[in-house]
Amino acid sequence: MSDLLRIEDLHTQFHVHGGTVKAVDGVNLTIPARATVGLVGESGSGKSITALSIMRLLEKNGRITQGHVWFHDRDLIGLPDEEMQDIRGNDISMIFQEPMTALNPVFTVGDQIAEAVRLHQKVDHQAGLNRAIEMLRLVGISDPKRRAGQYPHELSGGMRQRVMIAMALSTSPELLIADEPTTALDVTIQAQILKLMRNLKGEFGSAILLITHDLGVVAEMCDSVAVMYAGRIVEQATTEELFASPKHPYTQGLLASIPRLGKKQERLHVITGSVPNPLAVPPGCAFRPRCPIKAPRSDRDIPPLTANGSAEHLVACWQYE
């Protein structure tokens, strides 16, 4: 499969009172065309900032200081703002972690989707609105014509999330970035939304970068998984391979912490310690303070992400050197 998106050595930093937060600190990640890639990791590991860096939608105090984001053969990092806007309107869409922040409260949801379509397809507003209603129907909203005339605050959380998905897919993007698309929803609606994303993927052929902390969602949805820790990818493999033989001690800890169905409930395995203070990441491997292995060299040098066993299984740990 050819690569749709290739992130190379990406660094994103924030200037804050008291120093510099290295939120993304050398990320390498590849998304093949039409694939669904999961991105998992503890809170604060840099998943959302990786996504926002791809979209170049960072807050004012944030800056991409190094690296490349290849989309086809174009590096998004150096692109002029207008061209980047064009990419966001046509080729890459994002579903945000909190839908209320992405929807404009003063416009009806129909008008918002119609505007996205109008800019993308260069059609008039009425044609855009018809397409918006069709999209709302497609994401399973009943009475879509009436709903199109409503404002975001008039909809439930689950419905707003569907509206976001409708809006994100209305331009048939090649890449959909979904940041915790179901975390805020209850379990039944969560299952519906995931099913919807799978169907729509079949329909539009989009690739998906799915950010989640839910390994069950990953198992169900993703072709491959990247595991993030303290601003870096520490392991990437096909979903099957990662679940069957995790290689990084952090991944092993994560997997050991999920309760298994049908197994007598033992005490949950918990990785001791916590993520490093982003203002004072230790030298060498950032996971070392919590690592049961503590491989030689890990106190001094950051382990690179390298192939291990097969070309598709990448891991960043000195124990395999």
Name the residues that contact ligand ATP, by CB under 6 A.
14, 16, 21, 23, 41, 43-49, 59, 61-62, 97, 213, 278
Rounded to the nearest whole angstrom, what is the least distance from the CB of residue 217 to ligand ATP in the complex?
A: 13
- Asked whether position 45 contacts Mg ion by CB under 5 A, the answer is no
Q: What amino acid occupies position 152?
A: P
Rounded to the nearest whole angstrom, what is the least distance from the CB of residue 253 to ligand ATP in the complex?
A: 17
The DSSP H or E segment spanning 100 is helix 99-102
- CA 36 to centroid of chain Cα atoms: 10
Cβ nearer to ligand ATP, comparing 2 with 43: 43
- Asked whether position 161 contacts Mg ion by CB under 5 A, the answer is no
- Alpha-helix residue ranges (DSSP H) falling in 122-207: 125-138, 144-148, 157-169, 187-204
Rounded to the nearest whole angstrom, what is the least distance from the CB of residue 296 to Mg ion in the complex?
A: 34
Residue 14 contact among Mg ion, ligand ATP, none, beta carbon within 5 to 8 Å by kind? ligand ATP
Beta bridge partners of 307: 314
Rounded to the nearest whole angstrom, what is the least distance from the CB of residue 44 to Mg ion in the complex?
A: 8
Size of the site for Mg ion (CB under 5 A): 1
Residue 59 contact among ligand ATP, Mg ion, none, beta carbon within 5 to 8 Å by kind? ligand ATP
Residue 99 contact among ligand ATP, Mg ion, none, beta carbon within 5 to 8 Å by kind? none
Rounded to the nearest whole angstrom, what is the least distance from the CB of residue 19 to ligand ATP in the complex?
A: 10
Rounded to the nearest whole angstrom, what is the least distance from the CB of residue 59 to ligand ATP in the complex?
A: 4
Contact 119, 89 (CB under 8 A): yes
Cβ nearer to Mg ion, comparing 36 with 48: 48
Residue 16 contact among ligand ATP, Mg ion, none, beta carbon within 5 to 8 Å by kind? ligand ATP
- The Cβ-side half-sphere exposure at 222, using a 13 Å CA radius, reads 31
Q: Position of tokens 């924030």?
A: 14
- Asked whether position 48 contacts Mg ion by CB under 5 A, the answer is yes
Structure tokens at 138: 């497609």
Cβ nearer to ligand ATP, comparing 98 with 220: 98
- Cα 304 from Cα 317, distance rounded (Å): 7
Residue 21 contact among ligand ATP, Mg ion, none, beta carbon within 5 to 8 Å by kind? ligand ATP
- Cα 86 from Cα 25, distance rounded (Å): 27
**Lateral strand order in the sheet of 3-16:** 19-32, 3-16, 62-71, 74-75
Contact 25, 11 (CB under 8 A): yes
The region of 40-48, 109-117, 181-189, 300-308 touching Mg ion under the rule CB under 5 A is 40-48
- CA 40 to centroid of chain Cα atoms: 8
Conformation bin of residue 72: beta by default, left when phi > 0, alpha when psi is -120 to 50? left
Q: Which residues bind to Mg ion, rule: CB under 5 A? A: 48
